[in-house]
Amino acid sequence: MEHAGFRPVLLGLIVLLPLAGFVINGAVALLAPARKRIVTWAGPGVLALAFALALVNFFGMLGVELEQAIVRDYWSWMPVGNLEVAAALQLDQLSMLMTLIVTGVSFVIHVYSVGYMGDDPGYARYFAYLNLFVFFMLVLVLGANFPVMFVGWEGVGLCSYLLIGFWFRDREKADAGKKAFIVNRIGDLGFMVAMLLLFTNLGSLDFEEVFRAAPATLAYGGALVTTITLFLFLGATGKSAQIPLYIWLPDAMAGPTPVSALIHAATMVTAGVYMVARTGVLFALAPVSMIVVAGIGALTALFAATIGLAQYDIKKVLAYSTVSQLGYMFLAVGVGAFGTGMFHLMTHAFFKALLFRGSGAVIHAVHGAFHHTHKEWDPQDMRNMGGLRHYLPLTWIVMWIGTLAISGVWPFAGFFSKDEIIWQAAARAVGPFAPWFTAFWAMAIAAAVLTAFYMTRLMIMTFHGEIRCGAAECTHLHEVPAVMSLPLVVLAGLSTVGGWVNMPHAIAELPVLGWLPSAEWIHAWLEPAVRPAEAILGPRLGALNEAAPLGGGEAFWAAVAFALAVVVIGVGSSVVLRWKYRPALESLEPVGLKKVLYRKWYVDEAYETLIVRPVVATSRALWRLVDEALIDNVLVNGAGYTSRAFGWAGSRLQTGQLNTYAFAVVLGALILLGFMLL
Amino acid sequence: MILDFASGLSYLWALLPEVVLSLWAMLVLLVDVFQKGERSEASRPIVTWLTLIGIVGAAAANAWLLTLEETTPTGMIALDEFRVFANFLFLLAGALFVLISTRYLEQEHLRLGELYALVLLATVGMMLFAGSRDLIVIFLALELMSVAVYVLTGVNRRDRRSAEAALKYFLLGAFSSAFFLFGVALLYGGAGTVNLALLARSIGVDGLGANALIVAGMALLAVGFGFKVAAVPFHMWTPDAYEGAPAPITGFMAAAVKAAAFAAFLRVFLTAFPGLYERWDDLVIWLAALTMVAANLVAVVQGNVKRMLAYSSVAHAGYLLVALAAASSLGAASYLFYLVVYTLMTIGAFAVVFVVGRRGEERLDLDAYSGLGWERPLLGVVMTIFLLSLAGFPLTGGFIGKVFILQAAVAKGLVKLAVVLVLTSLVSYWYYLRVAWYMWFREAPTPEAAAGVVASPSLRFALVMAAALVILLGVFPGQLLELAERSAAALAQAPSPFLGAGGN
């Protein structure tokens, strides 16, 4: 299936370059950890090359009408019975876009890490993990069938686990890694079961084959396709931190900040959104699953935003904000607007990477200052900051750009993507499920308001007002070096103009806001990739709404959203400025609703009591039951004659256990005999 | 060459690999005794080399078996690709074990050249166990293998744990052998034959399937096999015996002995009892589910790595039982493939355990693994590979093996069992990766902690080879998959009770 106009250039090499980086850096980490120069060049270098290759392919694809994905088979990976799984990569508009985001953002973050991790003794190890992560992420994105995607899916999970626990001396961080790991396993279970069901029913696991066969084989709205898609979505909720599996992501902030920016904001956590978009055909066949996806998305967006209101740890606020924004993306793909979801994924990658690295710069500076004066304060607690704009002017400016972008202020990137999601939810409120979508729309707007507020609170607490970190410390606050600030500026630029590539015509018609060039480029670009899914959705759902549930068209609500964001930021700033904060150690515990939010609705505690403890208890009980207590105490004492019969063994060994083992064999044999004969 | 088994000479040809290996075992024993003479000192390296040469020779003879053809499918010794495949597996396990155990003898200051002869004899037992079509020969092979392994378990006479494990293993093994033998007797009473193919015919053609003697005999055979493969509830001896035995021997027991028992299990049940599938399918399904769930959950709370791996090997018996429950040529193929991967990773993991344990195997707790990855990169990397593969991480052989088994199960309609497999293997990630976590994310308590953790060149070679094969089988499994499928087809095509058995 070669396309006449376009041949992918060294597609395999894009994936292999980061792997080579992993091998080089891993060897350095094990054999000569002091040779940092090699790492400094090899780590970001392979990513630069991969990004360049991705760009070459992208420009090659630009002018070509590519109707079908280009699949490259490398070798037959699993020729098992009638299952033929090839080690194959697939390039289409969707995977191209993701590849650009992954390699581009990764490259910038690798450069930033050179500065951020420069003094860390685990420098080489860090870059080895980071390269390995990018390798698996690219496998996930470019895989041409479910098993190859699963390789990447598991791989990024493993790397995330490695990187969260990177500073392993810290017990809390080790625990955070484990938590992420277990929660992700639950998600992987969903992925595996969905794969099994797909294979049993469709006889193939290749994307192309599955999506071709699915509309004919699987009944629209049937139980089977609903089950498959719900299991897939379970996988997505694990990886992309949605209710009920979101709990690992905020704790994952224990890892180094660039890792939070790359893995836990820009790339890995969006894998679930990508997966839903990739399997859009299946989801389109299951309207109930679509409702679930959209509903969970909207609920997560709102729920996480409320928690973000009351956190004091700067990275925790951003973490919950990520969970919330991922909720928006799921809302988008859940209402069938796959292109819009991918658009928000892209803009979010820009502004969230920016915000995380801005917060990294802040933490870097505050930590350095506290370290200098041996002050034992938490450098991530915003109550210990305040007024930092005088010391970190550049960080201050770029963080405000990120804040405006995420809050949805025109003309920053987030405005266009988030506004479109809200609008799509409103437009989808037709047909039998209309009331549901109306509710999702309202939740999305409420979450947008909360987003603007908690981000404003973050900015004011960190950069404005009085300085709370102490006079002696202030003299040691330093702006970041060039190797870190340059990536910040680049991302700030992208966060500003990144949304312009996809501006709806409706906005172009607005009086003041409409002068920007209008282009629905992302939609046009992704159109061939999402066409099969839309071909199923279109006829079933009928025409979309022209007006929102409360009246007014797309342009009207865009203007309203913009106005809301501006008002919240303006009013919020003045309100928060007036609140008096004190350093963390002198502060009182929050009370009332604020405490509930600060404690994150007590979800962690609930999981601990309802799930974790019972499972551990069962394991221990089973161990005792199967291997120790049952046989000894119940059976042997209850059936004394057996004991005597085998007593000769016991008396010789003096363990008193052998006879019980033998007894178990006899018992098993009896059950087995009964089983077969009766 | 076509063998008609009319003369004894035909049997000699058909048994060539076993004959070579048995004679070689005597030779190794003699050479060891003579090179030592009166002195009490360690065996010279030549004994190790000699043993390896014997294994290679047997492997060559084994390959030559492929050129042979049999005239009747009821011969006492099977001449099919299944046997050849299984034999290669046992020889590979034996070779790995020899490479590893030289370092063990050195570390424990043992002077036991007979260890090599015992390994060769145990391997002969395994080969006959998996290769015979006659229940009496199968029983003899079982005993030949088991007796050698009992002795191996107690090879370190100065170690109390080792002696205790050997005695326990021996007593319980004898006990379960009795079940097996009684099952054989009942089958003979019911069908008048102990030949697997003829048994299948009497069940299928003569309609003896409902005969209580045959069913009871089959159930007792299942108990005997269940004991050897350590399926719950016949697994009780495993943790004690595995923990007490020296780690390299534990690896050999957990991998090769179990692989042999599984291969024989598969041959007996697929050749003799396909006509009774409705009777034993539920049973195997329940055994599999019970084994997977119990073993994985119990392994989660183990703090001793050797004991954890013992439970893990029980859990893997559960996965393999899933393949048996599928009872198809696809199932048999997945079984063979998984056995190869399982053997590699299990022997490898136990080898690392004994190196880390140091002299006297005193350091078996998780804490002993703290920071190992940074102190001993080679051990850390290969152990991580083995652990990931045991857990079934993609790009390792363990993943492909599990997918293969899942596929066979799903093709047979055992979707629920497949889901149990997925679920329990996700649980297993927890305890496998905890070891990896300690190796890479914990600081070594003292810089000297790793002193004395020494891998000899032969051991390193064995570890690197096993780890490389595990990865290779995860990335390019195609060749071995096809080979396994072809070998399994030979077994499934063996006399079907309804069609092909009327010829003789």
CB contact under 8 A, B234 and A168: no
**What are B428-451's pLDDT values in tens digits?**
888 898 888 888 877 777 777 777
CB contact under 8 A, B411 and A81: yes
Across residues A39-60, what is the average pLDDT? 90
Query: Who contacts B69 (Cβ-Cβ below 8 Å, separation ≥6)?
Result: B1, B2, B3, B79
Residue A667 lies in a domain: yes
CB A360 within 8 A of CB A257: yes
What is the Cα A570 distance to its own chain's centre?
30
CB contact under 8 A, B407 and A81: yes
Q: What pLDDT, on the 0 to 100 scale, is given for residue B39? A: 67
A649–B contact, CB cutoff 8 A: yes
Nearest to B297 among A80, A168, A618 (CB): A618
Residues of chain A with Cβ-Cβ distance to B291 below 8 Å are none
- Regarding predicted confidence, which is higher, B70 or B84? B84
List the beta bridge partners of residue A221: none
Q: Which of A141, A439, A81 is nearest to B407 (CA)?
A: A81
Residue A294 lies in a domain: no
CB contact under 8 A, B164 and A653: yes
CB contact under 8 A, A193 and B419: yes
The B residues from 17 to 76 touching A (CB cutoff 8 Å) are none
The DSSP H or E segment spanning A174 is helix A171-202
Q: How many structural domains compose chain B?
A: 1
**How far apart, in whole angstroms, are the C-alpha atoms of residue B130 and residue B115?**
23
Query: Who contacts B407 (Cβ-Cβ below 8 Å, separation ≥6)?
Result: A80, A81, A83, A199, B330, B334
CB A130 within 8 A of CB A113: yes
**How far apart, in whole angstroms, are the C-alpha atoms of residue A98 and residue A522?**
12
- Regarding predicted confidence, which is higher, B262 or A605? B262
Would you call A168 helix, strand, or coil by DSSP?
coil
Q: What pLDDT, on the 0 to 100 scale, is given for residue A308? A: 87
**What are A508-527's pLDDT values in tens digits?**
666 666 666 667 778 888 88
Residues of chain B with Cβ-Cβ distance to A657 below 8 Å are 168, 240
Nearest to B441 among A31, A174, A200 (CB): A174
Predicted confidence band of residue A640 (pLDDT cuts 50, 70, 90): very low
A189–B contact, CB cutoff 8 A: yes
Residue A579 lies in a domain: no
Which chain A residue's Cα is nearest to B439? A168
Nearest to A653 among B168, B212, B478 (CB): B168
Query: Quick one: tokens of A86?
Result: 């090839």
Residues of chain A with Cβ-Cβ distance to B407 below 8 Å are 80-81, 83, 199
Residues of chain A with Cβ-Cβ distance to B301 below 8 Å are 616, 619-620, 623
CB contact under 8 A, A665 and B429: no
Q: What pLDDT, on the 0 to 100 scale, is given for residue A643? A: 39
Predicted confidence band of residue A613 (pLDDT cuts 50, 70, 90): confident
**How far apart, in whole angstroms, are the C-alpha atoms of residue B90 and residue B309?**
20
Mean pLDDT for chain A overall: 82
Residue A492 lies in a domain: no
B277–A contact, CB cutoff 8 A: no
**How far apart, in whole angstroms, are the C-alpha atoms of residue B220 and residue A435?**
63
List the beta bridge partners of residue A86: A76
What pTM value is reported for the model? 0.85
Cα-based angle B377, B378, B383 (whole degrees, multiple of 5): 100
CB contact under 8 A, A623 and B410: no
Q: How many structural domains compose chain A?
A: 1
Q: Report the range of poorest mean pLDDT among A122-126, A165-169, B130-134.
A: A165-169
**How far apart, in whole angstroms, are the C-alpha atoms of residue A661 and residue A450?**
63
Predicted confidence band of residue B43 (pLDDT cuts 50, 70, 90): low
> What range defines the domain where residue A610 resides?
606-677
Residue A642 lies in a domain: yes
Q: What percent of chain A lies above the pLDDT cut of 90?
A: 20
CB contact under 8 A, B334 and A150: no
- For the purposes of burial, counting CB atoms within 10 Å of the CB of B6, is it exposed (0-12), middle (13-18) or buried (19 or more)? exposed
Of how many residues is chain A composed? Answer: 678
Residues of chain A with Cβ-Cβ distance to B394 below 8 Å are 147, 150-151, 154-155
B477–A contact, CB cutoff 8 A: yes
Nearest to B394 among A150, A161, A189 (CB): A150
CB contact under 8 A, B422 and A665: no
**How far apart, in whole angstroms, are the C-alpha atoms of residue A637 and residue A617?**
25
Q: Report the range of poorest mean pLDDT among A209-218, A513-522, A550-559, B432-441.
A: A513-522
Nearest to B422 among A192, A623, A626 (CB): A192
Q: What pLDDT, on the 0 to 100 scale, is given for residue A638? A: 39
Q: What pLDDT, on the 0 to 100 scale, is given for residue A1? A: 46
Measure in Å the smallest separation between the Cα of B119 and chain A Cα atoms.
26
Interface confidence, given as ipTM, is 0.79
A661–B contact, CB cutoff 8 A: yes
Amino acid in position A559: A
Which chain B residue's Cα is nearest to A622? B298
The B residues from 213 to 272 touching A (CB cutoff 8 Å) are 215-216, 218-220, 222-223, 226-227, 232-234, 236-237, 239-240
Residue A232 lies in a domain: no
